[in-house]
Amino acid sequence: MVVSTRDRNIDSSRREDSRKGMVDRCEVFNVYPHVDPFEGGAGDVNFNVVDVQLVDVPLDDAGGAITIKRARLNCLQHYHGLLQGDPWTPRIGDMVLVYWLTEAEGIVLGSVTSAQQEPICRSEATSEHQEIVHKRAPWEQPLLDAHTKAYVAFQYPKHPDCFKWWPKTRDYITMHDCPYGHARPFCDKLAPCTCLDDLQSGTWWKVFSDISPTELDKPQRVKFHHECGSVEYWDHDGTFHLHGAVAGVLRGYINHAPKGTIEVKSASNVANGSRMIVVAPDDASHTDDYGEIAWDLVNIEKMCLVRGYKDGAVRLRSSLDPTGLVGRAEVFLGADGHCYLWNGVADASVEIFADGQMKLKSPRIVLDGHVEITGDLSVRGTLDAPLSGVM
């Protein structure tokens, strides 16, 4: 049977055009994300599909690319269920691999690298050790070459968000708007990003392992840092610390010690601000001349304080005198009833002892008004004038 040349050419063309069961490199030139509900067969039918054009195609007689396009290809999903999942579509200009179900219907298997879209550097990677990196940045429209019909120029990523995990140490960081990746998008050794200690600016969340090589923090620490300078961390021994900052200048902080003692301070400078301490029951490290302290509120600049003790006593003191040795005024309320009011400048006091005795001490005592004495009167000094009514 003789077959015409025309028929043979048609058959050959059909075999070439049929892509069923094959995989091609393609470039995405349109994306259709799913936005509105598809209810009852009506509504948005854009189920995260893309339009692509084949990359490996011959050129025409003028040297231009022969454009072969396929519309609305579905994309392979990592996880998917009814109204749930992790939706994924490549972006315009991305190089993808497509598995063809028929000549025009295919499934996008995933993205691949290209000369135009160099992969991110992993500055510590070797053949035996590779960091895990997830870096994302706002998308910008690439430039299309009018002659080859391919996307050839892509913008460097700006303001990226990044996650990085080091498999040898198990340290990892999540960085928002990474200033290092923004300034040097290659993310190579000059970024820098070779260990957690390299990354100090920006907004980030760090987790240090028990074998972390950190020199600035502690192993097994979890730490959050905001770009304004505020920082918060948790240590393996139970320590918790929150330090506020404005424009990089540290302000007040809250600190939780392993035994449960909590300290709150309104300024970072040792000599400024006010401080409050609530002491844990089994923490005996906070004491003064009156016993173990239970809670303490101090104005550090003036050194005035309100202090409670574990035995139930309470002490109040105004600012220190010019010598800085004693309070200008002080009140003490003892747990056993012993109490006093003391003027530290004139060394005058009123003291009531636990047994009820009272002692008044002053360079001069003036009683203005009627004084009635129902018990005995004993005068150990002299009287300036006789007491009226005293026989």
The CATH number covering residue 102 comes to 2.40.50
pLDDT of res. 385: 66
Range of the domain at 385: 270-391
Q: What is the pTM of this model?
A: 0.80
Residue 385 falls inside a structural domain: yes
Q: Please tell me which residue, 297 or 376, carries the higher pLDDT value.
A: 297
pLDDT at 144: 86
Res. 140 pLDDT band, cuts 50 70 90: very high
CA atoms within 13 A on the CB side of 219: 7
Q: How far apart are CA 90 and CA 93, in angstroms?
A: 8
Answer whether 87's CB lies under 8 Å from 94's CB.
no
pLDDT of residue 291: 95
196 phi/psi in degrees, rounded to 5? -65, -30
Percent of the chain with pLDDT over 70: 91
Q: Which residue has the higher pLDDT, 192 or 256?
A: 256
Distance separating alpha carbons of residues 299 and 295, to the nearest angstrom: 14
The pLDDT, as a whole number, for residue 391 is: 46
Q: How far apart are CA 169 and CA 211, in angstroms?
A: 6
Radius of gyration from C-alpha coordinates of the chain = 40
pLDDT-wise least confident of 19-23, 167-171, 176-180, 358-362: 19-23
In this prediction, residue 9 carries a pLDDT of: 58
Cα gap 10→4, rounded to integer Å: 10
How buried is 181 (Cβ within 10 angstroms: 0-12 exposed, 13-18 middle, 19+ buried)? buried
Q: Tell me, yes or no, whether 121 lies in a domain.
A: no
- Domain-embedded: residue 242: no
* Lowest mean pLDDT, pick from 313-322, 335-344, 373-382: 373-382
Whether the CB-CB separation of 78 and 86 falls below 8 Å is answered with: yes
The total number of structural domains that make up the chain: 2
- Residue 272 pLDDT: 87
d(CA 286, CA 388): 54
Give phi and psi for 11, each to the nearest 5.
-65, -45
pLDDT average, residue stretch 151-162: 94
The answer to whether 204 and 173 have CB atoms below 8 angstroms apart is yes
Identify whether 46 is part of a domain: yes
Is residue 24 assigned to a domain?
yes
Listed residues 112, 144, 174: the one ending a domain? 112
* Number of Cα atoms under 13 Å in the Cβ half of residue 53: 15
pLDDT recorded at residue 5: 62
User: 192 Cβ partners below 8 Å, 6+ apart?
Assistant: 123, 180, 198
Q: Mean pLDDT throughout 259-270? A: 93
pLDDT over threshold 70, residue 109: yes
Containing H/E element for 179? helix 179-183
Alpha carbon separation from 121 to 170, 178, 188 (Å, rounded):
19, 15, 5
| Mean pLDDT for the stretch of residues 38-65 | 80
Say if 365 falls within a structural domain: yes
CA 167/CA 158 separation, integer angstroms: 27
Collapsing DSSP to helix, strand or coil, 246 comes out as: strand
Could you tell me which residues are beta bridge partners of residue 135?
162
Number of residues assigned to the chain: 391
pLDDT score recorded for residue 63: 61
**Out of 15-24, 86-95, 187-196, 312-321, least confident range:** 15-24
Question: Among 72, 87, 112, which residue terminates a domain?
Answer: 112
Do the Cβ atoms of 313 and 300 come closer than 8 Å?
no
**pLDDT above 90 (res 216):** yes
pLDDT at 94 over 90: yes
Question: Tens of pLDDT along 355-390?
Answer: 999 999 998 888 889 989 888 888 887 777 665 655
Lowest mean pLDDT among 76-80, 188-192, 247-251, 275-279: 188-192
Angstrom distance (rounded) from CA 287 to CA 279:
10
User: Of the ranges 53-62, 65-74, 122-131, which one carries the lowest mean pLDDT score?
Assistant: 53-62
243 pLDDT exceeds 60? Answer: yes
On whether residue 98 sits in a domain, the answer given is yes
Of 55, 90, 112, which residue constitutes the final position of a domain?
112
Residue 16: pLDDT above 60?
no
d(CA 58, CA 67): 9
Residue 12: what are its φ and ψ, rounded to 5°?
Answer: -65, -40
**What's the CA gap between 50 and 357, in Å, rounded?**
94
Residue 367 counted as domain residue = yes
